Structure 1
């Protein structure tokens, strides 16, 4: 019997998990690469040998893909979301999202509009192509006198996310982003301007099937300010998804997924829990990146990729939420300023902490490094993952790793 084909569009980042698991389950994985190519930080993770066939979307990909008769077409990373959405609607419509809402799933401006139109609370948001378009709206009471967050309409990993404190000139931030090539390899034609949210930021990762949204894991982000960058990832902590304290946030996320037309596959949703309740940061129509899907499996025994494959094998028995089996946290390393690394060995000590499950150090003594400004630059420096059934042990080792990382020096 010929193995059934499953196509992964841009199998980068956490998307590399799909192909080996698909092959193990008896499927034939193929890769579809979008064009233009995204940043090297994405494509460097590509594993060409994992795939029987590799297609490039710069050519006439639909006829080529049609001949392979894919059972499903799945985005592997953010750069492949729009193409996977389009191809799945054309070739695998029974496993595709609502076509009419396609722009709302990959464009932050359309996303905010769809959320508001569905009656869900959303921070005030505008989407503009120029400084001139933004001038009048930003004088209204919704924006005037408030901190503003400005970001590309279609990018990823806090790329280009800029904070403009209340009363300061927002025009340079808009000008700097318009026309720039972002991390997904696309030129910014529009930027989104939002009133800044205050609160605790959570992640709710889900798997949708037949329009039902089940939770695979819940995380809490800790972000920090470095120089002129205000949303630099520092820590990620996995939390029990079945804790009643998350009920309102999870219900909000499910309504947001309905509003955006999610029908099949993983989604990665970031939500700020404010004093007024949950508010959407953004939804990503894919697995959580940066190794979070693998960490989720360590924490809960499952993740969105595993559920996707089980669905394709015929399973429909998915619990509404998951139970935390291990305490898992991730510490990301930061560089406060540009310089040359002089004692990278201090990070190597983290490897010997009892609950350290993985350590990635991407610098050596003598390397020139740039200050950390976003998630991508943080990952270029390195990170550590901790896991144990005893949360106290994880917390202790995580704190010790932070102390070691603080000793990293540059000239």
Structure 2
């Protein structure tokens, strides 16, 4: 039953644009006794992201005109205790709304640096934190000239504000740079906004890791670290294959965590979740980017099984019971309960999907280590050879008591993945 105002008996949390991973928030807050309201920042739902499950919220407030003053007045009667971003594009609104409502938040002073990839790295540079060299421009020729002047390829070309490797290219020469820059300007980002500037950065050589954290008033907990297993295609796009859960006791995790602590401080991230991508270079860790939102990896039940917790639940605890969070998790690091893998299955198929072979999907689901399978395409959809994270065709969550079982089941899934879809050219 929709709430009309806060009665004082239950706290109220606000989620802005709870797409994709943000769908785990309603359950997380509800389990701690909170009502959850949703703010929708567009008139229509964004078609490029998994939509918010609005039935799980007490109320959905549409604020498509950006009128923050009216939105604040609309929400004040519910006495919210926090505002969280449901996805990357919601960070700016969530920061402004949280500050205006006077609830614990990261504030607006460094909001742009927490969202704009150029400002993000410059904030690290000012704080003396190891980071990439970079340049931005609206002119592809200027981007190419910067790369040519450095004469140190490869370089990375990307949009200023997007997500999920959208528009990211690794370029080996000036022509690749120019072409990638033009592609960025010609294509809207994953949130449907037109790219108006291009970012080019020095290439960080090394293994890439995910470092996920949750903070309560500046007290941080590292809730998981994953190693990316990926390969670079000739077109400069990365295929993300397996993401491997690193043992929390590994010395590498301590080094990555210490670096991410510097990043969080430089960007004034004091509250809520953060999802950082960090490359371990020969000189030490260096940030690719960080988002102050839930990891796209999150699956509450899967994370609970292999970690004993999940980032959405920890975030709810950090806001609703900060002292309890700090006592149990403050300045600590997770323990891995079971080895785990997230497999973003690539494909070489090209054509139109005519059918999904449910028998093959059932065979994959029946493997002992498989927790869940997401079949990303349906009959009638176009399937093309994978060129990045957004064009993988299956997402398989896997966990097992030992590495041998996990590897064996992973190899079985690999052998079956191209049989999931029936395709007509």
- TM-score where L is the length of structure 2: 0.88
Q: Distance in 2 between matches of 1:365 and 1:73?
A: 38
The answer as to 2:94 corresponding to 1:84 is yes
- For structure 1, the residue ranges without an aligned partner over 5 or more in a row are none
After superposition, give the CA deviation of every residue in 1:133-189 in whole Å (9 maximum; x if it has no partner): 435533433xx2311211110000111112221353422221221253211122212
- Summarize the alignment of residues 99-118 of structure 1 with structure 2, pairs less than 5 Å apart: 99-118=108-127
The 3 A distance-change label for structure 1 pair 118 and 307 is: same
Aligned match of 2:38: 31
Where 1:350 maps in the other structure, the secondary structure is helix
Tell me the SS of whatever aligns to 2:208: strand
Gap change, CA 1:365 and 1:77, over 3 Å in 2: closer
Q: CA deviation at 1:228?
A: 2.5
2:378 counterpart of 1:368:
no
SS of 2:195's partner is: coil
Q: 1:364 to 1:99 in 2, by over 3 A?
A: closer
- C-alpha distance in structure 2 between counterparts of 1:349 and 1:67, whole Å: 51
* Number of the residue aligned with 1:262: 269
Q: Deviations over 1:91-120 (max 9, x none)?
A: 134x11153211110000000101111111
Question: What residue number does 1:45 align with?
Answer: 51
Q: 1:321 aligns with which of 324, 333, 340?
A: 333
TM-aligned CA distance change 1:127 to 1:66, over 3 Å: farther
- 1:332 counterpart (320, 334, 344): 344
Are 1:58 and 2:64 an aligned pair? Answer: yes
Query: What's the CA shift for 1:333?
Result: 1.8
5 Å-filtered alignment, 1:254-333, equals 254-291=261-298, 295-311=302-318, 312-314=320-322, 315=324, 316-319=326-329, 320-333=332-345
Corresponding residue SS for 2:191: coil
| Secondary structure of residue in 2 paired with 1:405 | helix
- Structure 2 residue runs of 5 or longer lacking an equivalent are 1-7
Shift of 1:70: 0.8
1:232 counterpart (239, 261, 264): 239
Q: Is 1:355 aligned to residue 369 of structure 2? A: yes
Aligned partner of 1:397 in structure 2 is 409
- In structure 1, which of residues 216, 221, 224 is the aligned counterpart of residue 223 of structure 2? 216
| Contact 1:211–1:264 (CA under 8 A) maintained in structure 2 | yes
Q: Give SS of 1:321's match.
A: coil
With over 3 angstroms needed to count, the CA separation of the structure-2 counterparts of 1:293 and 1:166, relative to structure 1, is farther
Q: Distance in 2 between matches of 1:343 and 1:53?
A: 38
Moved beyond 6 Å, runs of 4+: none
> For the structure 1 residues 99 and 288, does the alpha-carbon distance in structure 2 shift closer, same or farther, using more than 3 Å as the test?
same
C-alpha distance in 2 between matches for 1:127 and 1:187:
16
3-state secondary structure, aligned to 1:113? helix
Distance 1:112 1:128, change over 3 A: same
For 1:232 and 1:291, how far apart are their aligned partners in 2? Answer: 20
Is the CA contact (8 Å cut-off) linking 1:224 and 1:233 kept in structure 2? yes
Q: Distance in 2 between matches of 1:372 and 1:40?
A: 20
Q: CA deviation at 1:294?
A: 5.1
For 2:152, the equivalent position in structure 1 comes to 145
Q: Which residue of 2 aligns with 1:123?
A: 132
Q: Kindly provide the CA deviation profile for residues 188-246 of structure 1, in whole angstroms up to 9, marking residues without a partner as x.
A: 12221012222111011001111122100111111234562522221111112232222
TM-score, L = length of structure 1: 0.91
